A and B are shown apart, each in its own frame.
Chain A
C-alpha cells in the first residue's frame, strides 16, 4: 500500500483569516504600504525644496486637502503601529545578557519607548511646534 505524502492545502490569498495571530501579522504588513507611500511623498518634498521657495510653498499648500488629511491619518496610524510593534520586538530580537542573567525584556522595550518619546518631542521643539 503506497502512502500519499501529506500535503496541506494552504490557500495563498486567504490563509491569514485562519488565526487572529495571522491577522495581526498581516495588519502589520499592511502598514508598509502607507509608510512606503509616505516615503515617496518625502522624495517629492525634497524635489520641491530643491526647486526654490515658490515650489516649496506650493508643496506645503498642496498638502491642504481632504485626501491629504485622510492619507496623513492612515500614514500616522501605520507609522505608530510599526513603531510600537518594532519596539516590542526588540526584546526578542536583541536580548542583553549581563553575567548570568538576562536583562528583563520590558526594560529593553521600555528604553526604546523612552528614547522614541524624547526624540519626537525634541524634533517637535526644534521645528518650533511649541
Chain B
C-alpha cells in the first residue's frame, strides 16, 4: 500500500481552513475596533489575561492560532506556485518552518501567562 505524508499536511490544512472561516473574521473585527480607537471591553488586559490563564482558554487560543498559521502556510505555498514560483521545496520549507515556529512561540507565550 502506498504511503504518503500528505494527510499530515492536509488534516491541519482543512481544520485550519474551517477555523479561519468561522473565527478569523470576527477576531479581525475586534482588533479593527481597537485600530479605530474603540477598544472592546473584553480586550482589556484583565479580561484577556484571565481568558489566557484558563487552561481551556489557552487551548482555544492555541488551536485558533496554530491551525490558522498552518493552513495559511499551506495556502501560501500553493499561491507561490500558481504565481509562477517553481522553487516549491524551498517555499514549502520556509513557510512550514515559519508556521511551526509561530505555533511553538504561541505555546511558549501562552505558558508564560
Which residues of A pack against B, CB within 8 Å? 12-13, 16, 26, 29-30, 32-33, 35-36, 38-43, 45-47, 49-50, 53, 56-57, 60, 63-65, 68-69, 72-73, 75-76, 79-80, 82-83, 86-87, 112, 115-116, 119-120, 123-124, 126-129
Instruction: Give 1 or 0 for each of B70-113: 1 = CB within 8 Å of chain A CB.
Output: 00110110110011101000000000000000100110011011
Total of A-B residue pairs, C-beta within 8 Å? 151
How many chain B residues have a CB neighbour from A under 8 Å?
Answer: 52
Main secondary structure of the interface of A (DSSP, over half): helix
Instruction: Assess whether B7 is interfacial by the CB under 8 Å rule.
Output: no
CB contact between B78 and one of A29, A43, A57 (< 8 Å): that residue: A29
The answer to the question of B55 belonging to the interface, with a C-beta cut-off of 8 Å to chain A, is no
Cross-chain contact of B30 among A26, A57, A65, A127 (Cβ < 8 A): A127
Instruction: Count chain A CB atoms within 10 A of each CB in B21, B40, B47, B106 and give the residue with the most.
Output: B21
Taking CB as reference atom, which chain B residue is nearest A16?
B82
The answer on a CB contact under 8 Å between A79 and B20 is yes
A119 touches B113 (CB 8 A): no
Report yes or no: B102 in contact with A39, Cβ–Cβ below 8 A: yes
Binding site for A on B (CB under 8 A): 17-18, 20-37, 39-43, 45, 47-49, 52, 61, 64-65, 68-69, 72-73, 75-76, 78-79, 82-84, 86, 102, 105-106, 109-110, 112-113
Residues of A within 8 A of B61 (CB): 46
- Residues in B with CB closer than 8 Å to A36 are 69, 72-73, 75-76
